[in-house]
């Protein structure tokens, strides 16, 4: 029985070896089913173990990558007298179709070769016109010649006539800042906080103590602080303010806000700011400062005045005249222009008044050989409608600045706004008709209600320096085409081959 059983078992095993498909087939089907069901789950679970599939790293374009070497130097070649001179007929053919008013009014204009002075275009260039802020070019010449590009204005604190009195004396710096002096800036180059600290130190050295009272001396300027030729509406709108020989932010409450109301007594406003700084600086040293400030005018002349020469306690100095001229031209600052004109007169021994300023401008132009016949100067900022100057006179002034014999005038070159980039031209020259002039045209703008002007210089496509002045009078107020006409004319000069 046992043997028989063993034999049966052996037969069963033998049967499985020789007929495997009979019992293995269901198992294979089961395994296949398991694989089919497990594959989707594996796709969901696998990222948790191996991470997301690799993502291709975007390649930074070559033009966005940091350079590995300096590029070749690019820019305008030095001016050469051998560069081809444009033909007047060709220049006229370019400009005449462009200088058309949008509505009423007329344009005059003049273009000269910067090196030789040869006239290349003349449309009524000798006619007197209202020039608006192009007047500031004439003031620039007067200031640089009378004062010198490196001259600085001093704001001083003097020992007052009575005990505890100090006198803040204006010396022509109307770009004072209320805080610490900022040597790297034009506006705020001299700061009242720095002046106050120096004053306290000087008083301590002299053994002073107790109460201080601030007086302000603005006697440097004479004549009415407001020019009667200025329209009341322009004064009310903040285009200008009463003139004094010291002011904060060019007589602005905030240097960032260039429109709207302005201080009507910038000397007292500056003195009040100084008194506040003096109080802050002097508190630790035992000084007190009375709140109110008063005006002070020195009296006496000759030997008596010399004998009573006040003691200078402290002083701060402005940015240079060249830097101030550049700021004036870039921003077309009327207040600063009028002050620079008065200071130019004072430097020449004349009165620091409006009449002195206009006389100083006329005299300095005469020294340069620029004819002033028929010219009428009602102010030196261009705000007055009574100014009468020709395009030819402006072109001659630009030529004197760029290539004339007086190197002091080169101090104004940085002040010319650059088309599409800086100053009053920063938002112009962006349209299709004028974009070729962007970065190439450098010019002073001028705008009044029915007046528009543009005077400056370009280097044309052949490397020739051209100076120009275009002035529109009697124009339709607000007509956009007038500004574009001048910008297109200047652009045409920059692209001119004109031969």
Q: Are residues 104 and 243 in the same domain?
A: no
Provide the token pair at 92. 């006229």
Question: What's 136's domain CATH number?
Answer: 3.40.710.10
| 120, 86 Cβ separation under 8 angstroms | yes
pLDDT at 276: 96
Half-sphere exposure of 147 (CA within 13 A, CB side): 31
pLDDT at 62: 66
Residues present in the chain in total: 499
> Does 51 fall in a domain?
no
pTM value? 0.83
For 416, the 3-state DSSP assignment is coil
Q: Are residues 158 and 142 in the same domain?
A: no
Per the structure, the count of domains in the chain is 2
The residue out of 319, 350, 384 marking a domain boundary is 319
For 461, the 3-state DSSP assignment is coil
Provide the token pair at 355. 């009449």
Question: What's 161's domain CATH number?
Answer: 3.50.80.20
Q: Are residues 201 and 288 in the same domain?
A: yes
> Does 10 fall in a domain?
no
Our CA angle for 225, 231, 237, nearest 5°, is 85
Q: Are residues 93 and 199 in the same domain?
A: no
For 217, the 3-state DSSP assignment is strand
pLDDT tens for the chain, 499 residues long, are 433 333 333 333 333 333 444 344 454 444 444 445 544 444 444 444 445 555 556 677 665 577 776 555 444 456 777 889 999 999 999 999 999 999 999 999 999 999 999 999 999 999 999 999 999 999 999 999 999 999 999 999 999 999 999 999 999 999 999 999 999 999 999 999 999 999 999 999 988 889 999 999 999 999 999 999 999 999 999 999 999 999 999 999 999 998 899 999 999 999 999 999 999 999 988 999 998 999 997 865 444 444 467 899 999 999 999 999 999 999 999 999 999 999 999 999 999 999 999 999 999 999 999 988 889 999 999 999 999 999 999 999 999 999 999 999 999 999 999 999 999 999 999 999 999 999 999 999 999 999 999 999 999 999 999 999 999 999 999 999 999 999 999 999 999 988 8
Q: Are residues 158 and 144 in the same domain?
A: no
Q: Are residues 142 and 192 in the same domain?
A: no
> Does 79 fall in a domain?
no
pLDDT at 499: 83
Domain span at 241 = 154-299+308-319
Q: Which residues of 141-177 are buried (b: 16+ CB within 10 A; e: fewer)?
A: bbbbbbbebebbbebbbbbbeeebbbbbbbbbbbbbb
Cα-based distances in Å from 490 to 106, 109, 125, 318, 443: 17, 11, 16, 35, 9
> Does 468 fall in a domain?
yes
Query: Rounded to 5 degrees, what are φ and ψ at 407?
Result: -65, -20
> Does 413 fall in a domain?
yes
Which residues touch 389 (CB under 8 Å, ≥6 apart)? 128, 129, 131, 134, 135, 138, 375, 376, 377
| Bridge partner list, 210 | 287
Active-site residue numbers? 133, 136, 332
State how far the Cα of 106 lies from the Cα of 121, in Å rounded to an integer. Answer: 16
pLDDT at 318: 98
Provide the token pair at 360. 């100083």
Q: Are residues 101 and 169 in the same domain?
A: no
pLDDT at 180: 98
Report the relative pairing of strands 165-169 and 210-217 from DSSP bridges: parallel
State how far the Cα of 388 lies from the Cα of 371, in Å rounded to an integer. Answer: 13
| 92, 110 Cβ separation under 8 angstroms | no
Cβ burial of 462 (10 Å; 0-12, 13-18, 19+) is middle
Q: Are residues 450 and 480 in the same domain?
A: yes
Q: Are residues 431 and 446 in the same domain?
A: yes
Q: Are residues 404 and 480 in the same domain?
A: yes
DSSP 139-192: HHHHHHHHT-TT---EEEEEE-SSTTEEEEE--S---BBSSS--TT-STTSSBH
Q: Are residues 144 and 170 in the same domain?
A: no
State how far the Cα of 132 lies from the Cα of 383, in Å rounded to an integer. Answer: 6
> Does 20 fall in a domain?
no
> Does 225 fall in a domain?
yes
> Does 75 fall in a domain?
no
Q: Are residues 164 and 312 in the same domain?
A: yes
Closest to 345 measured CA to CA, from 209, 142, 66: 142
Helix (H) or strand (E) holding 339: helix 334-347
State how far the Cα of 343 lies from the Cα of 330, in Å rounded to an integer. Answer: 20
Provide the token pair at 228. 């009667």
The residue out of 289, 319, 349 marking a domain boundary is 319
């Amino acid at each position: 029985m046992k043997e028989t059983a063993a034999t049966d078992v052996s037969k069963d095993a033998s049967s499985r070896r020789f007929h495997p498909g009979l019992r293995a087939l269901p198992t294979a089907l089961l395994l296949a089913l398991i694989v089919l069901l497990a594959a989707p789950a594996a796709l969901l679970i696998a990222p948790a173990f191996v991470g997301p599939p690799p993502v291709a790293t975007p390649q930074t374009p070559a033009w966005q990558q940091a350079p590995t070497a300096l590029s070749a130097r690019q820019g305008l070649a030095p001016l050469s007298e051998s560069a081809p001179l444009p033909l007047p007929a060709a220049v006229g053919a370019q400009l005449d179709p462009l200088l058309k008013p949008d509505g009423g009014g007329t344009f005059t204009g003049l273009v000269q070769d910067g090196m030789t002075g040869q006239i290349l275009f003349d449309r009524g260039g000798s006619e007197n016109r209202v020039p608006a802020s192009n007047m500031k070019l004439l003031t620039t010449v007067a200031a640089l010649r009378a004062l010198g590009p490196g001259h600085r204005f001093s704001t001083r604190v003097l020992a007052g006539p009575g005990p505890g009195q100090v006198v803040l004396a204006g010396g022509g710096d109307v770009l004072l800042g209320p805080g610490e002096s900022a040597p790297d800036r034009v506006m705020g180059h001299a700061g009242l906080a720095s002046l106050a600290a120096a004053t306290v130190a000087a008083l301590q050295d002299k053994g002073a103590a107790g109460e201080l009272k601030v007086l302000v001396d603005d006697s440097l300027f004479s004549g009415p602080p407001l020019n009667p030729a200025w329209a009341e509406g322009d004064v009310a709108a903040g285009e200008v303010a009463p003139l004094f020989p010291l002011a904060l932010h060019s007589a602005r409450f905030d240097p960032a806000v260039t429109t709207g109301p302005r201080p009507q007594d910038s000397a007292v406003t500056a003195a009040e700011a100084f008194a506040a700084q003096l109080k802050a600086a002097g508190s630790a040293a035992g000084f007190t400062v009375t709140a109110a400030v008063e005006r002070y005018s020195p009296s006496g002349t000759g030997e008596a005045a010399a004998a009573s020469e006040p003691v200078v306690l402290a002083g701060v100095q402005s940015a240079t005249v060249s830097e101030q001229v550049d700021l004036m031209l870039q921003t077309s600052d009327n207040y600063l222009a009028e002050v620079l004109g008065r200071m130019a007169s004072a430097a020449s021994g004349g009165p620091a008044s409006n009449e002195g300023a206009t006389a100083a401008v006329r005299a300095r132009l005469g020294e340069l050989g620029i004819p002033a016949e028929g010219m009428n100067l009602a102010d030196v900022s261009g705000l007055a409608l009574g100014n009468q100057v020709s395009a030819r006179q402006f072109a001659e002034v630009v030529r004197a600045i760029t290539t004339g014999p007086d190197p002091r005038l080169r101090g104004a070159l940085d002040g010319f706004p650059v088309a599409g980039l800086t100053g009053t031209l920063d938002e112009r020259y962006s349209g299709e008709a004028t974009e070729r002039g962007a970065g190439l045209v450098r010019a002073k703008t001028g705008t009044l209600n029915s007046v528009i002007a543009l005077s400056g210089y370009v280097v044309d496509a052949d490397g020739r320096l051209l100076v120009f002045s275009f002035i529109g009078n009697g124009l339709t107020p607000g007509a956009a085409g007038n500004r574009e006409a001048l910008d297109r004319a200047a652009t045409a000069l920059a692209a001119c081959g004109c031969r």
